[in-house]
C-alpha cells in the first residue's frame, strides 16, 4: 500500500520568513514523489518532482529515503506563494503495470504581509 501524510492542514508564515511544508510517505518500492500546487481559482499544477532535483519559484524538495520524507522548502516566502500544496506519490501498480498517484491531504499555506 502507498500512503502520503501531510501533518499540517494549515500553515501561516510572514513574508520573507522561511517555510517548510512536511510530507512523509509509506511505500515498499522505489517511489516517485511530486509536489502539486493549487492557487486560488487556478488548476492543480505540478510544482516539483524529485527526480528532476530542480528549484521552481524558489522551492526545493529533497527525497530522504531514510526518513521517508519529501519536505518542500523555501528560504523566503512571498505572498504569491499562498496556495494549497499537495504532496503526491506515484507507485507502480502490479495489476496494471502502470502507476497510481496518491495525494496527501494537502497543506494550505498562507503568507501574510
Partner 1 sequence: DTEVTQTPKHLVMGMTNKKSLKCEQHMGHRAMYWYKQKAKKPPELMFVYSYEKLSINESVPSRFSPECPNSSLLNLHLHALQPEDSALYLCASSQDLQGRNSPLHFGNGTRLTVT
Q: Which residues bind partner 1 (CB under 8 A)?
A: 32, 34, 36, 42-46, 49, 51-52, 84, 86, 90, 93, 96-101, 103-106, 108
Report the distance separating Cα 64 and Cα 4, nearest Å.
Answer: 14
Nearer to partner 1, 41 or 113 (CB): 41
Minimum Å gap between C-beta 49 and partner 1 is: 6
**In whole angstroms, what is the distance from residue 1 CA to residue 22 CA?**
20
Instruction: Identify which of residues 9 and 15 has a Cβ nearer to partner 1 in the complex.
Output: 9
> Minimum distance between the CB of residue 26 and partner 1, rounded to whole angstroms?
16
Of 17 and 46, CB closest to partner 1: 46
C-alpha cell at 63: 527525497
DSSP state, residue 83:
E
Q: How far apart are CA 47 and CA 104, in angstroms?
A: 15
Least Å distance, CB 76 to partner 1, is: 26
Minimum CB distance to partner 1, residue 19 (Å): 20
Give, in degrees to the nearest 5, the angle at Cα 19 between 15 and 22. Answer: 150
Q: Which is nearer to partner 1, 67 or 95 (CB)?
A: 95
To the nearest 10°, report the CA torsion of 90, 78, 62, 69.
-60
Amino acid at each position: 500500500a502507498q500512503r502520503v501524510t501531510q501533518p499540517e492542514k494549515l500553515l501561516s508564515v510572514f513574508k520573507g520568513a522561511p517555510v517548510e511544508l512536511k510530507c512523509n510517505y509509506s511505500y515498499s518500492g522505489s517511489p516517485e514523489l511530486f509536489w502539486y500546487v493549487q492557487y486560488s481559482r487556478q488548476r492543480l499544477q505540478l510544482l516539483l518532482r524529485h527526480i528532476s532535483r530542480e528549484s521552481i519559484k524558489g522551492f526545493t524538495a529533497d527525497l530522504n529515503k531514510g526518513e521517508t520524507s519529501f519536505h518542500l522548502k523555501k528560504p523566503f516566502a512571498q505572498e504569491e506563494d499562498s496556495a494549497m500544496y499537495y504532496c503526491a506519490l506515484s507507485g507502480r501498480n502490479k495489476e496494471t503495470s502502470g502507476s497510481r498517484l496518491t495525494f496527501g491531504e494537502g497543506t494550505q499555506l498562507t503568507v501574510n504581509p
